[in-house]
Chain A
Amino acid sequence: VTYPEPAVQSFIAAHFIAVKLMLNNPADQPHFRAQRVIWTPTIVFLDHRGVGHYQSPGYLPPALFLPMLRIGLARAQLAWARYDEAAAQLTAIADDHASALAPEALYWLGVTWYLQSRRRAPMMQAWDRLRQEHPASIWAARIPPNQEDEP
């Protein structure tokens, strides 16, 4: 249902190598176990070594699937220290205030900026925005209290 959407297609074509793994196919079943996938469908973002960096269980409509792809891509890029690329993906979602994934994007944007700079100030820039723009979000709740008091 989601893949024929042109924006989804072009994003996948531009950024990913795509593969379908079928539970009904005995040759694919070990991959379900290796990636700890217990439900279908589940989208898993892997690096070229086969290490999974993000999972998205269940179906999503295109309006949510596309930002989910960006977050999954960013999480994989983050693990490989591709900080600028990750920040670009996350910023695109964070700037869409209406997106249900904007709070998660802002959280990981803070993490990205911290890992890139090893400084709290850039991280807090994203996290302050998260607390201001999405105060009721679980992602805002993940921010430890009194972070701004530390250097």
Chain B
Amino acid sequence: MRLKTHHLLHVEDDHNFAAQAAQQARDNGVECELAESFVYTAQLSAKRGGDACMNNLDFTWQPDLSAALEAARQERRFVLADFSKEH
């Protein structure tokens, strides 16, 4: 399985975080590529980039609605809320 994240940062701390998450994914047998085509400056995006590799998706699910709304405010984005039910 080959994964990508579009959230690699150039800020050193964030880069380290993303790189560590990628390495952890590789250690778990997942090929994780950190794409540099999208460069964000927010720490939040860096964390999401690292998490994305771990979750097999290009994006990550926020832990709760409050966190999602705050991230949306910071990044001037909208929230995609998936109202679901565990079966």
Where the two chains meet, the residues of A that have a C-beta atom closer than 8 Å to any C-beta of B are 3-4, 6, 9-10, 12-24, 27-28, 31-32, 35, 37, 40-50, 53, 69, 72-73, 76-77
B6, B67, B71, B78: the one contacting A47 at CB < 8 Å is: B78
Given contacts A12-B80, A23-B84, 12 further A-B contacts (CB under 8 A): A4-B57, A6-B58, A9-B57, A17-B72, A17-B75, A19-B79, A20-B84, A21-B65, A22-B84, A35-B81, A41-B82, A50-B65
14 pairs across A/B with beta carbons < 8 Å?
A10-B58, A12-B58, A14-B38, A16-B80, A17-B72, A18-B59, A18-B60, A19-B61, A24-B86, A43-B82, A43-B83, A48-B73, A50-B69, A77-B78
Query: How far does the Cβ of A78 sit from chain B's closest Cβ, in whole Å?
Result: 11
Q: Are B6 and A14 in contact (CB under 8 A)?
A: yes
One digit per residue, 1 when the CB lies within 8 angstroms of any chain A CB and 0 when it does not, for chain B 45-72 equals: 0000000100011111110110111111
B70, B81, B86: the one contacting A43 at CB < 8 Å is: B81
Inter-chain contacts of A21 with B (CB < 8 A): 65, 81-84
Q: A16's closest neighbor in chain B, by CB?
A: B80
B57, B58, B82: the one contacting A19 at CB < 8 Å is: B82
Interface of A is mostly: mixed
Assembled-state Cα–Cα distance A9/B61 (Å)? 12
Q: A45-B78, A46-B69 are in contact. Are A18 and B83 (CB under 8 A)?
A: no
Q: A25's closest neighbor in chain B, by CB?
A: B86
